[in-house]
Amino acid sequence: MERLSIEKAHILGFSDGANIAMIFAILYSEKVNKLILNGGNLNAKGIKRTFQLPIELGYRIARLFANKNPKAKANAEMLSLMVNDPNIEVADLAKIEAPTLVIAGTKDLVKEKHSRFIAKHIAQSELVFIKGGHFIAEKNPNEFNAIVLKFLKEFPTSPIEQH
C-alpha cells in the first residue's frame, strides 16, 4: 500500500484471508477503510469439530512422514496453519476501528456462535449469514456480491438485511 501510495483501502478476506485481514486491521487500523470478513475465525476452536478433527488427524499423519517425503512436509506445513493458527485475542478485536461486515454461510465450517462472537466484539460491525457452506462467495456470488456492495455503499448508516 505504501509503495503504491494507497492511504486506506477496503479489505476483503475469505477464510484464512479473513484471519489475515483481521490481523492487518488490528495492526494497521489507520489503513483500513472498511473490512469484510468472510468465514474467518479467531482460533481452531471456532471451527466445527466435524471439520477440524480430520484436519488434525491429517496433520499428525503428514508430520510422521515429513522428514521422509517433501510432499508430506509441504502438506504438514499447510495443515499446521489450520491446526495451530490463527491465535487472535478477543481483546484485540476492539482495535479494529473500520466498519466491518462479518459474513458466513448458514452451514459454514466456522461455528455460527463463533461468527456472532467476532461480530459482537468489533465495535462497528454487521453480521450476515447467507444460505450455504464455507464457499458462499463462489456458490452464491450474486447474493454475496449484493450484500458486500450494499455494505460498501451504505454501512454504517443503513443496516444490512440479516439472513
- Average pLDDT in the 125-150 region? 97
pLDDT of residue 159: 57
Closest CA to 99 of 126, 129, 127: 126
**Fold classified for 9-43+90-152:** Rossmann fold (3.40.50)
Task: Tell me the pLDDT band of 60, cut-offs 50, 70 and 90.
Answer: very high
Q: What would the 3-class secondary structure string for 87-126 be?
A: CCCHHHHHHCCCCEEEEEECCCCECHHHHHHHHHCCCCEE
Please give the model's pTM, rounded to 2 decimal places.
0.86
118-125 contacts, C-beta under 8 A, 24 or more apart: 118/22, 118/37, 118/40, 118/41, 118/42, 118/93, 121/90, 121/93, 121/94, 122/93, 122/94, 122/96, 123/94, 123/96, 123/97, 124/97, 124/98, 124/99, 124/100, 124/156, 125/99, 125/100, 125/101
pLDDT of residue 161: 52
pLDDT of residue 157: 62
Query: Which amino acid is residue 146, in one-letter code?
Result: A
Task: Tell me the pLDDT band of 135, cut-offs 50, 70 and 90.
Answer: very high
Cell reading at 110: 466456522
